[in-house]
Structure formats: structure tokens, C-alpha cells
Amino acid sequence: MNTKPNYQTWIRMNKLLIFLCLSLLLLLGTLFPIPVYLRVLSGVLSLPFLYIAFILSYSIYQFSAFGGNYQSRIHDLIVSKVDGGAEKILDIGTGSGSLIIKLAKHFPSSTLTGIDYWGENWEYSKVQCEQNAEIEGVSNRIHFLKASASKLPFQDAAFDVVVSCLTFHEVKDSTDKTAVIKEALRCLKPGGDFVFMDLFQDEKTFGDVNELIASLMKDGVSDIESYTLAEYIPMPSILLNKKVLGHGMIISGRK
């Protein structure tokens, strides 16, 4: 068994490889014995793929522990917003387990549940989460469960705290992302805290953020605040690209 946890970033390596391969193939096309205009066209077409491959490569480096460690820093920020008296914590979109394991170590008296769909399109798994929790010495307090964020398999008011990081916009079985957020809040006890980090400023996905917050307030949230990710964590300008975390925002509060 591995002696070090394996926490992958939320950027998929297979996605990077696809863009990298496409850009290299198009660049190779400039060397083929074909008409000049086709070689020029191939070179021009390679540019957007090279740009995307660069952005993804740089982001993976900055999010990883051997780079800027921004994924861990974002998770630390979420943990810092969680109330210290939490007993039952739900992490929606647990990925490879990084955030939920941080919560387990920070709140040693808590019991935690991490849900994720872990589809084939992603590069981490439930087994990986369980192995990471075992290595970190918190496996006895964390339960991992495969489920969709659009239909959580829990009773109303089952948790003291609900957190989620960059998950709601990825939910494929519901086009209404506000409904997905409200499904998360359904599982939160009255008086319980929530901390959600996502691309809430992306109007194509979430609509107007002020309308989203107003809708949550009408649905029983008693206290709420929002702030851009960059307000709390200074980041390189490339990470603030709209294709990365430029739309990143944290919405937190109490039910």
C-alpha cells in the first residue's frame, strides 16, 4: 500500500493530453510535403490547442503540491469557514478526498460523509479516497458514498455542516444548478453552516449571482455572505482566467 496520499487536482490529465496531442499533430502538419497554404493553416489551427494545453499544464502545476499548492490552499480556506462545533459533516463532490480529509483532521470529534459520482470521465475513485483516508489515519470517521449531487441519499437536516468545492457546475443530470444547491441545503440542519466554492459568477451556468443568493434566502437560509476567491487568496493572473477560476466565488452562511 502507498505510504503517501494521492490527491489529484480537479483538472483532468486526459483532457490535457487530448489538447496537447491535437496541437502537436497540427504542428507536425506544417512539416508534411503538402501545399504551403495547408501547412500555414495547420500551424494556425494548432495555436488555440497549444494555448489551452498551456493553460491546463500551468493550472495543474499551480494547483498541485509540487507547484503553487492552490488546491490545498482553497480547501484550507473552506475549512477555516466551518464552525468548530460540527459533529456531522457532508462533503459534496469529494473527488480524491483532499477536502474531507482536511476537515476530519481539523475536527477530530466529527464524523464525515463524502459523496461523489466518480464517473469514468474523472481520474479519481472511491477506492482512492478510502486509501487516502487510511493513510491519513481518519478512515474510521469517514464514509464515502457514490451518489449524484442532484439527488442526495440523505434525510432532511441530516448534517451540521455541508461543504462543496467546484462540484455544482459539473452536475450533468440537472440543468437547474440552483436546484442542486438547494438539494445540498435540504440536508443541512437548521442552524447548520454551509460553505460552497464554485464558479458562481458564471452567468451561463448559475445565472445572476445576486438572484441566486436571493433565491437561497427565500428557501430558508438565514445568513449568507459571498466573496470572490481572489479576495482571500491572491493568485497568478492565469489562474484567474475565466476558463480556470476567474468565475470562482465562495458562498457561505447558515440555515
Q: Please write the tens of the pLDDT for every residue from 169-182.
A: 999 899 999 999 99
CATH number of the domain residue 213 falls in:
3.40.50.150
Residue 129 is assigned to a structural domain of this protein: yes
Burial class (CB in 10 A: 0-12, 13-18, 19+), 132: buried
CA angle 79, 85, 88 (to 5 degrees): 80
Q: Which whole number is the average pLDDT over 156-180?
A: 95
Q: Which whole number is the average pLDDT over 234-255?
A: 91
pLDDT at 72 over 70: yes
Q: Which whole number is the average pLDDT over 78-106?
A: 93
Task: Tell me the C-alpha to C-alpha distance, in Å, between residue 25 and each of 13, 45, 193.
Answer: 18, 10, 50
Residue 3 is assigned to a structural domain of this protein: no
Amino acid sitting at position 207: G
Residue 1 is assigned to a structural domain of this protein: no
130 in Cβ contact with 139 (< 8 Å): yes
59 and 79 belong to one structural domain: no
- 237-249 burial string, b = 16+ CB within 10 Å, else e? eebbeeebbbbbb
Looking at residue 95, its pLDDT comes to 92
Residue 210 is assigned to a structural domain of this protein: yes
- Given pLDDT bands bounded at 50, 70 and 90, which one contains residue 1? low
Burial class (CB in 10 A: 0-12, 13-18, 19+), 106: middle
Looking at residue 139, its pLDDT comes to 95
Average pLDDT, the chain: 91
145 and 250 belong to one structural domain: yes
For residue 107, give the 3-state DSSP assignment. coil
Task: Tell me the C-alpha to C-alpha distance, in Å, between residue 244 and each of 10, 88, 113, 199, 223.
Answer: 11, 31, 27, 9, 29
110 and 137 belong to one structural domain: yes
Angle separating helix axes 36-63 and 70-80, nearest 10 degrees: 40
Q: Which of 33-37, 136-140, 228-232 has the highest mean pLDDT?
A: 136-140
101 and 128 belong to one structural domain: yes
Domains held by the chain: number: 2
33 and 146 belong to one structural domain: no
For residue 36, give the 3-state DSSP assignment. helix
Domain that holds residue 33: 13-63
pLDDT at 76 over 80: yes
Higher local confidence (pLDDT), 187 or 243 = 187
178 in Cβ contact with 206 (< 8 Å): yes
Q: DSSP states of 54-87 as a string?
A: HHHHHHHHHHSTTTT-HHHHHHHHHHHTS-TT--
In 7-134, beta strands by DSSP E: 88-92, 111-116
Residue among 223, 217, 219, 224 at smallest CA distance from 249: 224
Residue 8 is assigned to a structural domain of this protein: no
122 and 184 belong to one structural domain: yes
pLDDT at 88 over 70: yes
Residue 6 is assigned to a structural domain of this protein: no
25 and 90 belong to one structural domain: no
